[in-house]
Amino acid sequence: MVSAAPAVIMTAEQQSDLLLEVRNLKMWFPRKKGMFGQHVSYVKAVDDVSFTLRRGETLGLVGESGCGKTTVGRCIMRVYQPTSGEIIYHPANDAPVDLATLDRAALRPYRQEMRMIFQDPYSSLNPRMTVLEIVGEVLAVNGIARGSELQDRVAALLRRVGLRPEYMRRYPHAFSGGERQRIVIARALATNPRLIVADEAISALDVSIRAQILNLMEDLQDEFGLAYLFIAHDLSVVRHICDRVNVMYVGRLVEAAEATALYAQPKHPYTEALLSAVPIHNPRLRDKERRIRLQGEVADPANPPTGCYFHPRCRYAQGQCRAETPPLHLIDGERAIACHLAEELTLRGVIQT
């Protein structure tokens, strides 16, 4: 599962289901200072992250703002050129390819199979283009359709995301936030992708609209066999849509597990603190467990603390945590943890309501 951990033994079926392998991914941004812009250090936004994504599954990538999860998504989509590491994509009928090594021209066919849904549906749509132009541009640029066929394809895509085809002549300002996100989803579907990176896809929407968009995404996944990398900070949403969850802190993975197991019994203190913020809907159980409020601020990725990055905020920290960086290692077969005390602590998960 990760390079720093013992290799995960996969069956032949699991190997054939692999869609994406991220290996030792690093994205370090140079930090410059002074009148002449001298390079003084690096901001380690992503620092040695590894994970796999299978066909047709939803993998959650969670953590506080600034933990590096969005940067991971943008590296996979090659918005950023990674500092180092591999992004191995498994096409349907071809040999695996390392996306991190490809130039712009070589990336084009793979970008048809990998699309992105951005957080803000207000800023991700060009206000000067109609819906027909916004969605149709993707079809035209990729040589998929033109002319009347293009209009027919756009109409079909709008119907599939729950919008009326006659809306295609309207501009984005005529739509609500939820409708704009449906347009963004239609644009992402235009090239028949296999993987969609959803970066905080519902966080900018009203609470009343979020469930509708999530249900639409799940329906599309079932219909088209899509895989999602679902980047989010709201663990109450991740709980309902994700098959597996990766937890990040200051550019590193600290826990990776099946969603059911992670929510029932986290193994990393940071995960425990995140899960304590998940709302409890049953009023009789709300006072049973109190939220864990972390002290201090998130570590600076340009100047992280020694040892475990989380130790200044961890209520279980010991001397070893301050001195030694915990490796990401496997426990219980498939769960990966970066904590010296993972097998000693008994942490609480989300109360079942």
pLDDT at 248 over 90: yes
pLDDT at 8: 45
CA 257 to the chain's CA centroid: 15
Q: Could you read off the pLDDT of 73-100 as tens digits, one per residue?
A: 999 999 999 999 999 999 988 899 999 9
Classify burial at 45, counting beta carbons within 10 Å of its beta carbon; exposed 0-12, middle 13-18, buried 19 or more. buried
Q: Which helix H or strand E contains 88, and what residues bound it?
A: strand 84-89
User: What band does 36 get if pLDDT is binned at 50, 70 and 90?
Assistant: low
pLDDT at 59: 97
Q: Identify residue 212 by its one-letter amino acid code.
A: Q
CB atoms within 10 A of CB 83: 18
CB atoms within 10 A of CB 194: 22
Any idea which residue has 């498939």 for tokens? Answer: 334
Edge to edge, the sheet with strand 252-258 lists 114-117, 195-199, 227-232, 58-62, 244-249, 252-258, 335-337, 329-331
Cβ distance 298 to 66 under 8 Å?
A: yes
Cβ distance 221 to 228 under 8 Å?
A: yes
Q: Could you read off the pLDDT of 249-269 as tens digits, one per residue?
A: 999 999 999 999 999 999 999
Mean pLDDT of 274-292: 70
User: What band does 280 get if pLDDT is binned at 50, 70 and 90?
Assistant: low
Cβ distance 165 to 158 under 8 Å?
A: yes
Report in angstroms the alpha-carbon separations of 49 from 18, 19, 89, 272, 308.
17, 17, 16, 21, 15
Q: Report how far residue 351's alpha carbon sits from residue 266's, in angstroms, rounded to the nearest whole number.
A: 12
Q: Report how far residue 213's alpha carbon sits from residue 179's, in angstroms, rounded to the nearest whole number.
A: 9
**Buried b / exposed e across 271-309, counting CB within 10 Å, b at 16+?**
bbbbbbebebeeeeeeeeeeebebeeebbebeebeebbb
Domains of the chain listed by start with CATH number: 1-92+194-209+225-353 (3.40.50.300)
Cβ distance 249 to 309 under 8 Å?
A: yes
Higher-confidence residue of 10 and 303: namely 303
User: Cβ neighbours of residue 306 under 8 Å, at least 6 residues apart?
Assistant: 322, 323, 325
Closest residue by Cα to residue 53 from 30, 82, 31, 23: 23
How many percent of the chain have pLDDT more than 90? 70
pLDDT at 4: 43
State the DSSP code for 83: S
> 159-164 long-range CB contacts below 8 Å, 24 or more apart?
160/186, 160/189, 160/220, 161/185, 161/186, 161/189, 161/216, 161/220, 162/216
Q: Report how far residue 218's alpha carbon sits from residue 232's, in angstroms, rounded to the nearest whole number.
A: 16
Mean pLDDT of 219-245: 93
Q: Report how far residue 33's alpha carbon sits from residue 185's, in angstroms, rounded to the nearest whole number.
A: 40
Secondary structure of 186-199 as H, E, C letters: HHHHCCCCCEEEEE
pLDDT at 33 over 90: no
- The pair of structure tokens assigned to 224 is 């088209």
- The pair of structure tokens assigned to 25 is 């991914």
